[in-house]
Amino acid sequence: MSLFSDRLNHASIVDGVVLSRAEHVRYRHNDMEHLRTLLKKYRDRRRKLIVTDAVFSMDGDKAHLRELVALKQEFGAMLMVDEAHSGGIYGRCGEGLSYDLGLQDQVDIHMGTFSKSFGVYGAYICGSRTLIRWLVNHARPLIYSTALPPSIVTGISKALELVISDHWRRERLLEVSRLFRSLLSDSGFITGDGDSPIVPLIVGDNETAMRFSLALEEQGIAAVAIRPPSVPDGTARIRFSLSAVHSDKELIDAAYYIRTIGHQIGVL
């Protein structure tokens, strides 16, 4: 098996690849031409799996799922999508980005977590009956770990009900994401290419990111500094995560403090 993995995929995917002992082929972030070149180079491999985050955890930008589906079809590969940061948010009932784009049947392995928008813990994998049977019988981390406790499973069931029925939360979340991102980028901050509820504010060096995060904390704004190796060298950042219950006023006030701190520590 050869695994083709986006360079900015989450660490858990990288660990999974290592644990699988499959051949690890990394392509440049969201660079479909690079992936095509690599798929061509390894085209003789009998089994190929492309794996990607749907929404990238440190940048908040989206995978190019349509292009990935086209490439998987062209090269006879399978496609696995990690919907950790898109489950609950995209799709008619929060099914994820693949569903939002109508590509659900083209994705061979869907996975996601219940720890982000669902607000609980645990994770899921969906795929063919054969795949699920194979995982249940062969996936060592699953077989040799204690199952989720009933209280957590009950919490997940309730969260699923809310996610499926409360469409307003999804709409509001995307609305606040747009507002907050534009408040920051209009102030001159670098916020990357995304449009999701993960909003990075790239500052560059580690020390500035730490000072920024501490100054925010003093103003009652919780946003952690993310540094290498979680992100590439020289791209330390503050990562904001938005919620459907943030009010416009809270975000406008937060943007004011962020701007003030940005000036004070020389990011702006």
Ligand X SMILES: Cc1ncc(COP(=O)(O)O)c(C=O)c1O
Residues that bind ligand X (CB under 6 A): 10, 12, 53, 57, 82, 84-85, 113, 115, 123
CB of 10 vs ligand X, minimal distance in Å? 4
Q: Are 181 and 143 in contact (CB under 8 A)?
A: no
Three-class secondary structure assignment of the chain: CEEEEECCCCHHHHHHHHHHCCEEEEECCCCHHHHHHHHHHCCCCCCEEEEEECECCCCCCECCHHHHHHHHHHHCCEEEEECCCCCCCCCCCCCCHHHHCCCHHHCCEEEEECCCCCCCCCEEEECCHHHHHHHHHHCHHHHCCCCCCHHHHHHHHHHHHHHHHCHHHHHHHHHHHHHHHHHHHHCCCCCCCCCCCEEEEEEECHHHHHHHHHHHHHCCCCCEEECCCCCCCCCEEEEEECCCCCCHHHHHHHHHHHHHHHHHCCCC
Q: Which is nearer to ligand X, 117 or 259 (CB)?
A: 117
Q: Is 62 a catalytic residue?
A: no
Q: Is 151 a catalytic residue?
A: no
Q: Are 242 and 176 in contact (CB under 8 A)?
A: yes
**Active-site residue, selected from the candidate residues 62, 85, 110, 246:** 85
Q: Which is nearer to ligand X, 160 or 265 (CB)?
A: 160
Q: Which is nearer to ligand X, 98 or 113 (CB)?
A: 113
CB of 34 vs ligand X, minimal distance in Å? 20
CB of 81 vs ligand X, minimal distance in Å? 10
Separation CA 266–CA 166 (nearest Å): 41
**Active-site residue, selected from the candidate residues 48, 62, 110, 116:** 116
Q: Is 85 a catalytic residue?
A: yes
**Active-site residue, selected from the candidate residues 5, 57, 117, 177:** 57
CB of 108 vs ligand X, minimal distance in Å? 17
CB of 61 vs ligand X, minimal distance in Å? 12
Q: Which is nearer to ligand X, 93 or 224 (CB)?
A: 224
Q: Which is nearer to ligand X, 58 or 183 (CB)?
A: 58
| Catalytic positions, written as ranges | 57, 85, 116
